[in-house]
Structure 1
Amino acid sequence: MENLFGESLDHESTATGLFADVIIPVPIPKLFTYKIPKNLKDDIGIGYRIIVQFGQKKILTGIIAKVHQKPPAAYEAKPILDVLDHHATVNPLQIRFWSWMAEYYCCNIGEVMNAALPSGLKLSSESKIQINPTFDSDTSTYPLDEREELILQALANKGEMTFEDCQVVLGIKSVHGILKSMVVKEAILVFEQVKEKYNPKVESRVRLTKRYAEDKNALEGVFQELSSKPKQEEVLLKYLQEVPVYKKPELNTKGLEKSVFSEANLSASSLKTLIKNGILEEYKIIISRFEEEEPEDVEIQLSEPQYQALKSIKEQLKEKNTLLLHGITGSGKTEIYITLIQEAIAGGSQVLLLLPEIALTTHIVGRLRKVFGSSMGVFHSKYSDNERVEVWNGVLSGKITFVVGARSSIFLPFDCLGLVIVDEEHESSFKQYDPAPRFQARDSAIMLAWLHQAKTVLGSATPSFESFFNARTGKYGYVGLTQRYGEAQLPEFQLADVLIDKKKNLLKLDFSRLLRESIQEALSKQEQVLIFQNRRGYAPYISCEDCGWIPECEHCDVSLTYHQFSEEMRCHYCGFKEKVPSSCPACGSSKLSAVGLGTERIEESISLLFPEARVARMDLDTTRSKYGYQRLLEDFGSGNVDILVGTQMITKGLDFDKVTVVGVMDADRILFFPDFRAGERAFQQITQVAGRAGRRDKKGKVIIQTRKPEQQIFNQIFQGDFKNFYLQEMADRQRFFYPPFVKIIKVSTRHKDYKTAEKASNSLHNLMGDIQVKKILLGPEKGLIGKIKNQYIFESIIKLDKGGNAQAQFKMELQHLLTELLAQKEFRSVRFIVDVDPY
């Protein structure tokens, strides 16, 4: 005898029942075993979504990871409450991927599940109240007060109410005390009502009933009856105009959306009467939130360098699983991607194209949609829960075979992935910092491809040192593209020495003479300009000119960033904000001035310097809305904006014909940041933003403002000399033990009490020192930012040998140490955060 899972069951084992190991979205390092009720055993399988009770009151969505016949030894298994779907929502490969991620990134599989499933696929439980069926007000020992009587009367009418409903009935903010009293008096019961978050989009349609659709004479009789009712006649004529049922009878099956009648200003009551009288019938259908689009017949024409690169990619992928496509900005990597995607889909495989930012996604989607139509899905955080669930279900059903997405798209339910492309693979935004899992999407995508036995192509004009190292050592394949597509030429670079301009009084509103003249020349030719400053807000901070006071966040060890537009100062770490004071709180002086440069201040300066120019700003503040990026890019692409000021959002992926000048406002801030990757990031960001200039037949110009023009890195950027820059940096990394020669793990200890955080950090650090693997242990030190959200932070850095099993052993023993420390009373409220590959 076999069950649904292909497992052989004898009569004796069947009697003991079936059990399921369930993944639950909680930060606990184990699976939980639940009993499968007999009435559900034929409806359950691995990857199914189920409802389970967790603890005393919580109702949660779980995913079945394993089915077996062994009851748990330590506790009595609770029964599964219900099954949510008639099919698996998650496949076994996904569960393997989640397990790998939990192990590699030192977190729990429940945390991975929480990140992986769109919230629309997770259930929520909502507390509600109802009248206790055994309650009798006449015989009750405890009389009800006036407010309790009001609640009871409302319940008699409604049947059940939420806590919020009770607040409305009583007109007060807090009802918990009153409801608690009613529970004690046994007047009401509190229960958890499970609600499915995902709601499909439903469309109301109408069509002719069968009688009139099949009998023309009967329909003519209706028109005779309606001759005295012109409004109903108009509605019926509108339907027949849109749906010619006698020429094409099959169209009546699809009917017509009800909204067509309201848009034509036809009577809603007349439509309702026709439905009531059985002439038209109303029905509902579930429709997609995305427009159905047929692919256009787009011919991809490759230049000779592109064709040779494509040929080499195919050859090398026969031997290698992963390949680095190192193509300079504007070399036409996207056309190569499209060709590879088309061939993979034609071979019956799914494809994932991973992009680091939504800004990139919005720009490239239109181009790809023309080629792939509705078989392509887009997945990123700006989509609503319902939209993300639809993409998830589209991949699950096979309707979507190609996905373009940000880092979260690696969690989609692929079952036959053949190709993964990671564009701009060097981007730091592929790293998830908070909450767990703190994964690197590029590295995770390579693992995902390996699980599917798929191929991975990493693309970049400025590869990460790790990927370039793997290519040079033969682990990855390597293809270089050194020519821009078509007639486009590489831009001309120029340095503007800010200090010299300042001495000569030529610096105006932080703009050098060279940059101002270049912008003016571009505007006179009706060309466009990009200005890059990787700091949002008006200024990094404000300061009192008399006493030096600087406003700081109440909850973090950082200064507040000044935002002039909203007239407030904000913390970019915890969100705390306050109004700008009219005078210095420390000395009373009214001499408060903004210090430093933010995108908002640069936007204002440009408007003063070039009043005739149309200026826009692209940063986190201007793109918070769902279509914020899209609207800005459309305005810029259509020529409605002359100068676009932005943070690193503008450094990649943008392809506009008229951009001829790019200005980098403060290159020193990127270059001298206290991070071993500072040089690498400076090379990448400046090269990427420079690549936005002169992408057609016009030669572009890049102006870099700096106080240190003698820095060697500038010459290497100008010459595109990535290789020598890489060799120079790698020599330092090897000498001082930094990636890619070692693996780094950062362990942060956080607590609201400084001494507790420090003691916990020292205790863990000493215990980690006893782990017998080859390592370098640094710290613990106070974090670069010592306090965030009222939590004091201490950090230890571990550099691990890349060979052997040092990493796996260290991670395993570290998890045991953390469990031991958290079991100690004094450290129970301490947060230990493990970040693998943190930089």
Structure 2
Amino acid sequence: MESLFGDQYDNKDEKSNLFADIILPVPIPKMFTYKIPRNLAESIGIGFRVIVQFGKKKILTGIIGRVHQKPPTSYDAKPILDLLDNHATVNPIQIRFWAWMAEYYCCHIGEVMNAALPSGLKLSSESKIQLNPTFDPDTSPYPLDEREELLLQALANKEEMSYEDCEAVLGIKSIHGILKSLVIKEAIIVFEQVKEKYSPKVESRIRFSHEHVKDKKLLEALFNEIAGKPKQEEILLKYLQEVPVYKKPELNQKGLEKKVISDAGLSASSLKTLIKNGVLEEFKIIISRFEEEEGSNEEIVLSSEQEEAFQQIKKEFEDKNTVLLHGITGSGKTELYITLIKEVLAGGSQVLLLLPEIALTTHMVGRLRQVFGSSMGVYHSKYSDNERVEVWNGVLSGKLSFVVGVRSSIFLPFDSLGMVIIDEEHEPSYKQFDPAPRFQARDAGIMLSWLHQSKTLLGSATPSFETFHNAKTGKYGYVSLEKRFGEAQLPDYYLADILVDKKKNLLKLDFTRLMREKIQEALNNQEQVLIFQNRRGYAPYISCEDCGWIPECEHCDVSLTYHQFGEEMRCHYCGFKEKVPHACSACGSNKLSAVGLGTERIEESLSLLFPEARVARMDLDTTRSKYGYQRLLEDFGSGNVDILVGTQMITKGLDFDRVTVVGIMDADRILYFPDFRAGERAFQQITQVAGRAGRRDKKGSVIIQTRKPEQAIFGQIISGDYKSFYLQEMGERQRFFYPPFVKIIKITTRHKDYKTAEKSARYLHNLMGDIQVKKILLGPEKGLIGKIKNQYIFESIVKLDRTGNAQAHFKQELLHILEEMQAHKDFRGVRFVVDVDPY
């Protein structure tokens, strides 16, 4: 990686010899050097967005990473085409952060930039056509058909046309063949028109022209003039009703939104006449896409336990940059966060609060918005491109000093970050799997905080073992909060044995008698119920009762998940779907049945068992829309839903007064999973979802359905004995070399041909074996899912020693090996994916 902070040019008079190393949003291992045109030399700098040509046809948005006077030696530097802004869009700390992320996660800085910048800040190019000025149809040796002539006639009256314009002229959907023919005949030229994606929201407003508000008498005279023109008079009276310029003439400057007049049903032509005659003037302003809200600035009153924890956190920050707040569910971590945020903002610094899920963001934002109003920004993937750019610009301009967001918000242009708070730090949702960079937002957030020389607070009721290990070994500070806020008590736990109920014929629609009784009791008391199942869909799969046939995806080595809504089966890996078959494809039997439990099936079962209850479901399928989470949570919070069924979305952060019963449908499914973290994840998920019960003065109940109630982990969950569970698991991890005692890197090899995928995986594995560092090398093995999207998958796992520079050295050598392999003719079509900290 080239240095991102080279010497700035020494002699400002030598403007013609300036070059810029530019970060481009492409997977290449280095920055590209471009020549800075003389006219841009004074106004360009690190972090500025520029337009450059990459290759023969591509026009890309780049970010300047370095300015210098050294021309490239291996190619002629092309000139920068244009400068997009008169200010830096990215600051130097961000560029350092991108460089660290590229190095640590074994990817390219261009891939980091592509993930970091909102789409609205990246240019889009649109193909257009124009007449070739040298083309003469009378002398051309090429004959034209009817459609080609029609298109050229249309172009004769226009400077340029888009592909869509051409399709409209010819009345056909695909015009590529015709355009290709005209290019060959040298009749047209195809070019790329570059345009900005982001467009600010503009509002049309009206106001009295200046001379009419100088004196009240002039306004009175105006009304005398338009007497007998009732439509114009209505408009002026409406304006004065909304904008009382008689009392406060200065209000006229801001004017009135034009659509207020149209919404009131007043005459558009009369308004046009008033503007034309100079009585009113029309103007446009750029407005925010977010509603302006005033914060209440409410005083947060901490309990004695919270106050003690708050003082402890501040004390720990004196010696440590990172502190773990280990607070049980319902202990009031949010109030502590608010108090800390207010203190940091009062000191003039910025704050980032990271949350793992959009669902959690939606719920917490309402609480925080009451306190901080519009000075707080929200950033997540459900926002449109334009909305995300507005948040970006709000941070850049200093308008937003506090942001709540999911993992992508670590890329925002903070310049004076005082604190990063990472709530539910144990959550696997913080890990980005595809595309690159495959980063862990918790770890990246800690690094971002370090670059800003600020503090990081990690909050969780069930910390990840890595974080707890760092706290126990003194790397992080540690503060615990072991009592629920207010009068709330921890819930009672019940283990419901599925097999016992099945033998006694007490299991109904997958619900044990105990679970049914507790749900009915809550409904009788007009209380609410949460039901957790770690799977969406109706059932995991459909199976033939006669021969055991199971429908599988055509492109992946997985069974298709049955979704009753729409009567279809879907692959959750590639999106392939097909209608549910009426008969078995193997034996022809029509005895097809759904096997296993999904959220959709549980929702249906609950409606049958409790017909009087209002049941809703929260999973990926029901929350795809922008406000899907919000609507469901509002319905549940307002009491319009009695029972909410959900996946892990409901396990964290939700705080509802009337929830007294939490049911976990199949705890064994979480526990028995081929992953070294299975026990840790089971403890976390069950504890988190149990924490939703009885969060006020009424004690809650948690029912765990299992086939093995004697498992030790259930006793540890019920007693809340996180520490003994941690010690037990850590002993296993140390014995078998798992994090936090080693660093894991997974290298995946993919190709459409099985033998090529296997050969390249073995070749790479052997080369990695030659890297001289202390390590354990496992594989290559066929992936747990051996084929996804018609690509065969092989995996190698590397366990690296955490001491010394073993990790850095191995990563450098690995990238060299991959570059050489991809340049080799036998491996050019193979895709290699490096995932650091994959689990």
Structure 1 residue 233 displacement after superposition: 1.0
1:168-195 Cα deviation digits (max 9, x unpaired): 2222232112111111222111110001
The one-letter amino acid paired with 2:33 is: T
Equivalent residue for 1:507?
A: 507
Paired residues in the alignment total 834
1:791-838 Cα deviation digits (max 9, x unpaired): 000000000000000000000000000001001111101000000000
5 Å-filtered alignment, 1:517-666, equals 517-666=517-666
Equivalent residue for 1:410?
A: 410
Note if 1:781 corresponds to 2:781.
Answer: yes
CA distance, structure 1, for counterparts of residue 779 and residue 454 of structure 2: 41
Task: Using the aligned pairs only, state the percent identity.
Answer: 80
Is contact 1:16–1:69 with CA below 8 Å preserved after alignment?
no
Is contact 1:50–1:81 with CA below 8 Å preserved after alignment?
yes
Is contact 1:773–1:806 with CA below 8 Å preserved after alignment?
yes
Structure 1 residue 213 displacement after superposition: 1.9
Structure 1 residue 140 displacement after superposition: 2.2
Structure 1 residue 16 displacement after superposition: 5.1
User: Where does structure 1 lack aligned partners over 5 or more consecutive residues?
Assistant: none
Equivalent residue for 1:331?
A: 331
Is contact 1:288–1:390 with CA below 8 Å preserved after alignment?
yes
**For residues 764 and 44 of structure 1, do their structure 2 counterparts lie closer, same or farther at Cα, with a shift above 3 Å needed?**
same
Is contact 1:355–1:407 with CA below 8 Å preserved after alignment?
yes
Equivalent residue for 2:378?
A: 378
Note if 1:817 corresponds to 2:839.
Answer: no
Equivalent residue for 1:263?
A: 263
CA distance, structure 2, for counterparts of residue 386 and residue 642 of structure 1: 37
The one-letter amino acid paired with 1:550 is: I
CA distance, structure 1, for counterparts of residue 57 and residue 733 of structure 2: 52
**For residues 607 and 418 of structure 1, do their structure 2 counterparts lie closer, same or farther at Cα, with a shift above 3 Å needed?**
same
Q: Select between 547-556 and 676-685 the one with higher mean Cα deviation.
A: 547-556
Is contact 1:424–1:461 with CA below 8 Å preserved after alignment?
yes
Structure 1 residue 247 displacement after superposition: 1.4
Structure 1 residue 545 displacement after superposition: 1.0
For residue 704 of structure 1, give the secondary structure of its aligned residue in structure 2: strand
The one-letter amino acid paired with 2:53 is: Q
Structure 1 residue 500 displacement after superposition: 0.3
CA distance, structure 1, for counterparts of residue 536 and residue 319 of structure 2: 45
CA distance, structure 1, for counterparts of residue 555 and residue 7 of structure 2: 56
CA distance, structure 2, for counterparts of residue 60 and residue 295 of structure 1: 41
Q: Select between 766-775 and 223-232 the one with higher mean Cα deviation.
A: 223-232
CA distance, structure 2, for counterparts of residue 16 and residue 133 of structure 1: 33
CA distance, structure 1, for counterparts of residue 586 and residue 784 of structure 2: 26
For residue 829 of structure 1, give the secondary structure of its aligned residue in structure 2: coil
1:548-579 Cα deviation digits (max 9, x unpaired): 11110000000000000111000000000001
CA distance, structure 1, for counterparts of residue 169 and residue 198 of structure 2: 29
CA distance, structure 1, for counterparts of residue 565 and residue 295 of structure 2: 43
Equivalent residue for 1:291?
A: 291
Structure 1 residue 641 displacement after superposition: 0.3
1:78-134 Cα deviation digits (max 9, x unpaired): 000001101000000000000000000000000000000000000011110011122
Is contact 1:330–1:485 with CA below 8 Å preserved after alignment?
yes
The one-letter amino acid paired with 1:812 is: Q
Note if 1:710 corresponds to 2:710.
Answer: yes
Equivalent residue for 1:50?
A: 50
CA distance, structure 2, for counterparts of residue 206 and residue 636 of structure 1: 42
1:391-420 Cα deviation digits (max 9, x unpaired): 000000000000000000000000000100
1:429-455 Cα deviation digits (max 9, x unpaired): 000000000000000000000000000
The one-letter amino acid paired with 1:618 is: M
1:277-336 Cα deviation digits (max 9, x unpaired): 111111100000011111113121111110000000000101000000000000001111
Structure 1 residue 522 displacement after superposition: 0.3
The one-letter amino acid paired with 1:273 is: T
For residue 110 of structure 2, give the secondary structure of its aligned residue in structure 1: helix
CA distance, structure 2, for counterparts of residue 497 and residue 425 of structure 1: 32
Taking structure 1 as the reference length, the TM-score comes to 0.98
For residue 318 of structure 1, give the secondary structure of its aligned residue in structure 2: helix
Equivalent residue for 2:3?
A: none
Equivalent residue for 1:314?
A: 314
4+ long deviations beyond 4 Å: 5-8
Note if 1:360 corresponds to 2:364.
Answer: no
The one-letter amino acid paired with 1:569 is: M
Is contact 2:672–2:678 with CA below 8 Å preserved after alignment?
yes
For residue 804 of structure 1, give the secondary structure of its aligned residue in structure 2: coil
CA distance, structure 2, for counterparts of residue 282 and residue 777 of structure 1: 71
5 Å-filtered alignment, 1:441-456, equals 441-456=441-456
Structure 1 residue 224 displacement after superposition: 2.5
Equivalent residue for 1:22?
A: 22
Structure 1 residue 167 displacement after superposition: 1.9
**For residues 566 and 8 of structure 1, do their structure 2 counterparts lie closer, same or farther at Cα, with a shift above 3 Å needed?**
closer
The one-letter amino acid paired with 1:393 is: N
CA distance, structure 1, for counterparts of residue 116 and residue 293 of structure 2: 28
Note if 1:78 corresponds to 2:78.
Answer: yes
Equivalent residue for 2:226?
A: 226
**For residues 139 and 8 of structure 1, do their structure 2 counterparts lie closer, same or farther at Cα, with a shift above 3 Å needed?**
closer
Structure 1 residue 7 displacement after superposition: 4.5
Is contact 1:201–1:289 with CA below 8 Å preserved after alignment?
yes
Is contact 1:767–1:817 with CA below 8 Å preserved after alignment?
yes
Equivalent residue for 1:488?
A: 488
Taking structure 2 as the reference length, the TM-score comes to 0.98
Instruction: Name the Cα RMSD after superposition.
Output: 1.1
Equivalent residue for 1:457?
A: 457
Equivalent residue for 1:439?
A: 439
Equivalent residue for 2:744?
A: 744
CA distance, structure 1, for counterparts of residue 456 and residue 238 of structure 2: 54
Structure 1 residue 225 displacement after superposition: 2.9
CA distance, structure 2, for counterparts of residue 246 and residue 377 of structure 1: 37
Equivalent residue for 1:669?
A: 669
Equivalent residue for 1:128?
A: 128
Structure 1 residue 15 displacement after superposition: 6.3
For residue 299 of structure 1, give the secondary structure of its aligned residue in structure 2: coil
Equivalent residue for 1:682?
A: 682
CA distance, structure 1, for counterparts of residue 720 and residue 736 of structure 2: 26
Equivalent residue for 1:468?
A: 468
For residue 394 of structure 1, give the secondary structure of its aligned residue in structure 2: helix
Is contact 2:15–2:38 with CA below 8 Å preserved after alignment?
no
Note if 1:772 corresponds to 2:776.
Answer: no
Equivalent residue for 2:197?
A: 197
For residue 227 of structure 2, give the secondary structure of its aligned residue in structure 1: helix
The one-letter amino acid paired with 2:203 is: E
5 Å-filtered alignment, 1:416-435, equals 416-435=416-435
The one-letter amino acid paired with 1:9 is: D
The one-letter amino acid paired with 1:784 is: L
CA distance, structure 2, for counterparts of residue 10 and residue 105 of structure 1: 38
The one-letter amino acid paired with 1:565 is: F
Is contact 1:543–1:549 with CA below 8 Å preserved after alignment?
yes
The one-letter amino acid paired with 1:783 is: G
Equivalent residue for 1:730?
A: 730
For residue 158 of structure 1, give the secondary structure of its aligned residue in structure 2: coil
Equivalent residue for 1:691?
A: 691
Is contact 2:778–2:796 with CA below 8 Å preserved after alignment?
yes
The one-letter amino acid paired with 1:155 is: L
CA distance, structure 2, for counterparts of residue 148 and residue 213 of structure 1: 60
**For residues 8 and 601 of structure 1, do their structure 2 counterparts lie closer, same or farther at Cα, with a shift above 3 Å needed?**
closer
For residue 778 of structure 2, give the secondary structure of its aligned residue in structure 1: strand
For residue 250 of structure 1, give the secondary structure of its aligned residue in structure 2: helix
Equivalent residue for 2:10?
A: 9
CA distance, structure 1, for counterparts of residue 272 and residue 521 of structure 2: 64
1:592-645 Cα deviation digits (max 9, x unpaired): 110000000000000000000000000000000000000000000000000000
For residue 657 of structure 2, give the secondary structure of its aligned residue in structure 1: coil
For residue 125 of structure 1, give the secondary structure of its aligned residue in structure 2: strand
The one-letter amino acid paired with 1:304 is: S
CA distance, structure 2, for counterparts of residue 467 and residue 10 of structure 1: 50
Is contact 1:417–1:449 with CA below 8 Å preserved after alignment?
yes
The one-letter amino acid paired with 1:189 is: I
User: Where does structure 2 lack aligned partners over 5 or more consecutive residues?
Assistant: 1-5
